[in-house]
Structure 1
Amino acid sequence: MADIIQLLPDHVANQIAAGEVVQRPASVVKELLENAIDAGASKIKLIIKDAGKTLIQVIDDGKGMSVTDARLSFERHATSKIRSAEDLFQLDTKGFRGEALASIAAIAHVELKTKQEGDDVGTSIVIEGSEVRDQEVIVTPKGTSVSVKNLFFNIPARRNFLKSNAVELRHVIDEFHRVALAHCNISFTMYNNGSESFNLPVGNYRQRIVNIFGNKTNEKLVPVEEDTEVLKISGFVGKPEYAKKTRGEQYFFVNNRFIKSAYLNHAIASAFDGLLKNGTHASYFLNLTVDPQTIDINIHPTKTEIKFDDEHTLYALLRSAVKHSLGQFNIAPVLDFERDSSLDTPYNFNKKSTSAPAIEVDKSFNPFQDEGRTNTGTSTKSVSFKKEPAANWESLYVGLESKSNSEPQDFSEVHFESEESTASMFDDDNSVEQVQTTYQLHSKYIVSTIKSGMLVIDQHRAHQRVLYEDFLKNMTIKEAVSQQLLFPLQLHFSVQEIQILNQLKEDLEHTGFVFSNVLKESIEITGVPISVPESEVSIILEQLISDVENEVPDAHFSATDLLAKSMAKSLAIKTGQSLQKDEQEHLVNKLFACKEPNVSPTNKTTFITMSVDELDKKFI
């Protein structure tokens, strides 16, 4: 029988490895930025076109490569980071497996330009699908430039699985943020489709956070510092009042490498226990420094997960450090029953000398002297305590005698002041006796009777369907009614969030929002839709931005549809909200007036029916 096991060709093995290393354009961005950092660069420039599908270029001013190194860098398992297996336990660099460039070259058109300091000329290599097409000597600045064009050009199936440009760009920006936050000593610049998106100069950690997420972030940060033999913690956590509904601004860095850890995230959540509203998540930007021998960073292909030797100790230290910072900066309440804030010494009395208080007493004061006499004494500051007689006090009792002699008053015509009646949400017809046709169950379901049996409606999903179709109709016919605000509402967002709102501005205006001013890090709203309370505006926009970033629920829906779904989800009646009888009936009538009452905007069942026969079977 013939042998059936054979070695895979190199180009096939590279494409299989690329499936692990390169999942989307953001994966290429991560690998190229980390290579630039390992090369000792002080300035790194990232250029993106079409969310990385057309071009990803990283230019650095690092040490560059020789001709041999440039050619060898595209071979599998070729690396300058390790020499023996023991080096894996002392890693202080980013890349070390030597698969990144080989994997990228297997599925894209790659052009490498590099030159070492001291060399007169550099090297240019062009690779397409793991095959070297051209290699020549060129004139280029010191450092390395890697251009990755037409990603997945030879794997159309992988390219079809990519999301829209907005979603892929969001992932690219996330990777850029993670690398930039971990290295404040390096200057980063990012260009998207020819325009500058980020320009991050060298600075401290707080300045880097503010440059990325906006000036408003500065007042939200609480510093965290702790240094022990096992772990060194530095960074910032966000104040509880600025907590968000999404987990966007949560960053852990271990030895300057971004990681994801649900276990350590729980430690932060535990430190904020009792300080956050339900459904909100605190922001944090924390750097953890540990001994490289106590961690394993090679357990995941993207190296975003790390295995610690002693996770329990790290959990306890992290939780205590965050809790200590919240208490130290008076973010968390302090239990101190003996402290009285009124006894605190003001700052301006810090260097003043103490002196006995001066008390002046009028020794000639006599309260039993006659009213008409003026108190005179030796004191220069004598005070007259003359008592003024009450004038016309008799007038207070005029008419009482005549009223007492008159006939007793008839109290049958006394009118009592009643509370002002508030207009009901729906018109009530008191002339017709109303019969209860709907009932609310556990403030979650509306139960109604039908001819064949019983109807049970999920009030939250049903209201979502009603609002969704209303918003979609308003945006389509562009005739939404707006409610003008007495005072303009100013909201602050990050630079990338403002860009998302700019894309949605026209659709938002069709729903009833009125924007008077849109700046780089803030927006001003002067009108909102009639159904939107002013207090809910920031929540709605935050939820909308989150949905657009993650493109919920699907990439094939239009921006208008996505906007209508997001607003309906934010404004719909919540589970646990009690409804009046007329509100219940109104919701039921509005639901069955919809085009698709059976499902919510996210394709979940809005109601179920149970016939009398099905109820009868329950009692058999």
Structure 2
Amino acid sequence: MPDIIKLLSDAVANQIAAGEVIQRPASAVKELLENAIDAGANDIQLIVKEAGRTLIQVIDNGCGMTVTDARMSFERHATSKISEAKDLFAIRTLGFRGEAMASIAAISQLEMKTKRVEDELGTCIRIEGSKLIDQAPCTSASGTSIAVKNLFFNVPARRNFLKSNTAELRHITEEFLRVALVNTDVNMSLQANNKLVYQLKKSKLKERLVGIYGKQYKERLVPLELESSIANIQGYIGKPEFARKTRGEQYFFVNGRFIRHPYLHHSVEQAFQELLPTDAHPSYFIYIETEPDKIDINIHPTKTEVNFQDQQHIYAILKSAVRQSLGKFNIAPAIDFDVEQSISFLPPGADAPVKNPFDPKSSDFNPFESSPSPNSTESGRERTNREHWEKLFEENRDSSPDGEQGVIFTEGSNEQKGPWIFQFMGKYILTSGRSGLMIIHQKRAHERILYDRFMHQLESGSAPSQQVLFPQQISFPLSDAEIIRELKPLLENIGFNFEDLGKNAFVVTGVPGDTMNKDIRDLLEKILDNYKKNLLDLDQDQRVNLALAMAANLAMKSSQVLGREEMETMVSQLFSSSMPDTSPGGKMIVRILGPDEIEKLF
């Protein structure tokens, strides 16, 4: 049998390596921007066309390269950053493997121009699919310009799996921001399809955050700072009242490098534990400085995963720093209006009139209404309350005529027409159905009703719009502004009217008719949060996604008290909807307890 194992050519080996290093256009952007930072540039331009499919160009004013270095930069494992294995544990540069340029050149048509300040002429190199096409002297500004054209031109399978231009541009923007947020002493600009998206001048961190996310962030952030022998921590955290439903504005940087670290993220969430509801996520921009030999960044090709030698200590330090910052700026837990508040009822005085709580003729009669649960620290008051209500029951036990003693439900009273209906715990609607006792989750029912309404409006474009008395100008972070532009026709279908002022600003002139009493900025931000969450979790059609976001945002709170007419209307609308049994998120709305099930309870 002949030998069958062969050594792969450099071109094939580079294509295979590129599959790990360059997964999408944003991966190439990350590598090129980090190279520019490592070159000492203080001015970097990023230019993309068609979300990086046809062009990714990075222009910097860094140190540039010699003729030999320019050519060597495209060889695999050729790097200026390390020479021995021990150097891996003293790394302060962003790149060090020597794989990125070879990987990018293997799957694109690439042109590089580079020149050092001391050289009269620069070097121009053209490569296609790892093959050197041309190398020659050229006139060039000091620094380096790399243009990556037709990415994945020779890997059609990878190109076909790319998302839409909007989605890919979002990933590119995210990589740009990760570099911009940590290198505030560098002028940085992003241009997409001949339109300037970001123009960020050298500034302090907070000014850069405001430049990226908008002026409203001046009031939303509090500084974070703590020094220790293990690590120094600084940055900004968002105030709890501005927490989001998505985790988009959460950044960790270690020694100038963006990282993902679930363990440290848990530390921050623990510090916010008593300040946020379970479905809210704080914003944070946290910068950790530690000795390079205390961390290992050589775990994954993207270098966004790291191991800390003193991981548990850093967890504790970070948690302490966040809590200290929250305490220093007097940030206390806010009342959660989604949770029924505990209210203690003190017994009335001896002369106070006593009402029969089981009088069905009373307008306050509600046999399913539960008294709030007393706090565990108020056991004395709890005992007093219980004794008081027990006395009420004893004093009024014989007050009803014979034959009616203990009757809770009555039929045919003048005050109540049709089937009986009650609200329980401010969360459920109880009524009778053909098959037994019907229990309806009111918030999910309202979501289903709203979802069907918004889907109809999105399909027909016939939603009423209420013009606002004073048009409101609102600025958004770029990623949110792009989503609004993308959704503009659909938002108008459900009643929003707004003008695009360019960059990240809009003027809202009209809103859906049933949202007039809501803060417009807060309304749009929450809709965007829900939309982005659905985008990540469900990957739904735009109309479905927007209808889900609107329904989730506008649905009533679990604790909202409803009158009889409101409950009857909700039940009627629910059973006229497309899927009355299931919420838009796939959760149960209605549970029916049949006579047999109820009998078994006793």
With normalisation by structure 2, the TM-score equals: 0.77
**Match of residue 530, structure 1, among 510, 513, 524:** 513
SS at match of 1:531: helix
CA displacement at 1:324 relative to structure 2: 2.5
Superposed displacement of residue 451, structure 1: 5.3
Query: Match for residue 494 of structure 1?
Result: 477
The yes-or-no answer on 1:590 pairing with 2:570 is no
Counterpart of 2:387?
A: none
| Amino acid across the alignment from 1:236 | Y
- For structure 1, the residue ranges without an aligned partner over 5 or more in a row are 334-418, 420-428
2:238 maps to 1:238? yes
Contact 2:428-2:441 within 8 A present in 1 as well = yes
Partner of 2:19: 19
Question: Which residue matches 1:545?
Answer: 528
Contact 2:222/2:237, CA 8 A, preserved across alignment: yes
Query: How far apart are the structure 1 equivalents of 2:538 and 2:246?
Result: 18
The structure-2 alpha-carbon separation of the partners of 1:447 and 1:247, relative to structure 1 and needing over 3 Å to count, comes to same
Give yes or no for the alignment of 1:39 onto 2:22: no
Letter in 2 for 1:238: G
Matches within 5 A, 1:167-566: 167-332=167-332, 434-436=417-419, 459-485=442-468, 491-515=474-498, 523-532=506-515, 534-535=517-518, 537-546=520-529, 549=532, 551=535, 557-558=541-542, 560-566=543-549
Tell me the CA shift for residue 446 of structure 1. 5.7
- Counterpart AA for 2:52: G
Aligned AA (2:541): F
Report the Cα distance in structure 2 between the residues aligned to 1:568 and 1:228, rounded to whole angstroms.
Answer: 47
Contact 1:445 1:458 (C-alpha < 8 Å) held by counterparts: yes
Residue deviations 1:493-517 (CA, integer Å, cap 9, x gap): 3344334324433432331224478
**How many angstroms apart in 1 are the aligned matches of 2:135 and 2:532?**
40
8 Å CA contact retained: 1:539, 1:570: no
Inter-CA distance 519–453: structure 2 relative to 1 (3 Å threshold): same
In structure 2, the residue matched to 1:81 is: 81
Indicate conservation of the 8 Å contact 2:528/2:549, yes or no. no
Q: Could you report, residue by residue, the CA deviation over 1:182-236 in whole angstroms, capped at 9, with x for unpaired residues?
A: 1112111110110111111112222222222222222333222222222112222
User: Are the equivalent residues in 2 in contact too, given 1:494–1:521 (CA < 8 A)?
Assistant: yes
Alignment size in residue pairs: 523
Residue 534 of structure 1 aligns to a residue in which SS? coil
Q: What's the CA shift string for 1:246-290, capped at 9, x where partnerless?
A: 222222111111111222222223333433455333222222110
Q: Residue 529 of structure 2 aligns to which amino acid in structure 1?
A: S
Contact 1:170 1:549 in 2 (8 A): no
Report the CA distance shift for 1:613/1:223 in structure 2 as closer, same or farther (over 3 A).
closer
Amino acid corresponding to residue 46 of structure 2 in structure 1 = L
Q: CA, structure 1 residues 454+295, in 2 after alignment: closer, same or farther (shift >3 Å)?
A: same
Q: What percentage of residue pairs aligned between the two structures are identical?
A: 49
- C-alpha change, 1:13 and 1:459, in structure 2 (3 Å) is farther
Partners of 2:440 and 2:154 in 1: how far apart? Answer: 51
Contact 2:42 2:61 in 1 (8 A): yes
The amino acid of 2:183's aligned partner reads H
Residues 433, 242 of structure 1: CA spacing in aligned structure 2 closer, same or farther, 3 A cutoff? closer
Alpha-carbon offset, residue 33 of structure 1: 0.2
Bigger shift: residues 298-307 or 118-127: 118-127
Would the aligned equivalents of 2:221 and 2:239 in 1 still touch at CA under 8 Å? yes
Question: Which stretch of the first structure deviates more once superposed, 51-60 or 118-127?
Answer: 118-127
Output the TM-score relative to the length of structure 1: 0.75
Aligned mates of 1:7, 1:63 — CA distance in 2 = 37
Deviation at 1:316, TM superposition (A): 1.9
Secondary structure, aligned partner of 2:514: coil
Point out 4+ residue stretches in structure 1 off by more than 6 angstroms: 429-432, 437-442, 452-456, 608-619
CA displacement 1:7-47 (0-9 Å, x = unmatched): 44433332222222112211111100001111111211000
How far did 1:563 drift? Answer: 2.3
Alignment of structure 1 residues 139-150 onto 2, 5 Å:
139-150=139-150
Residues 188, 486 of structure 1: CA spacing in aligned structure 2 closer, same or farther, 3 A cutoff?
Answer: closer
CA distance in 2, matches of 1:511, 1:538: 17
3-state DSSP of counterpart to 2:515 = coil
**Higher gyration radius (CA):** 1
Report how far residue 57 of structure 1 moved: 0.7
Aligned residues of 1:33 and 1:179 also touching (Cα < 8 A): yes
- Separation (CA, whole Å) in 1 of partners of 2:201 and 2:517: 38
Instruction: Determine the C-alpha separation between the residues in 1 that align with 2:80 and 2:331.
Output: 47
User: How far 1:51 moved relative to its partner?
Assistant: 1.4
**8 Å Cα contact 1:540/1:567 also seen in 2:** no
Q: Quick one: distance in 1 between partners of 2:509 and 2:105?
A: 52
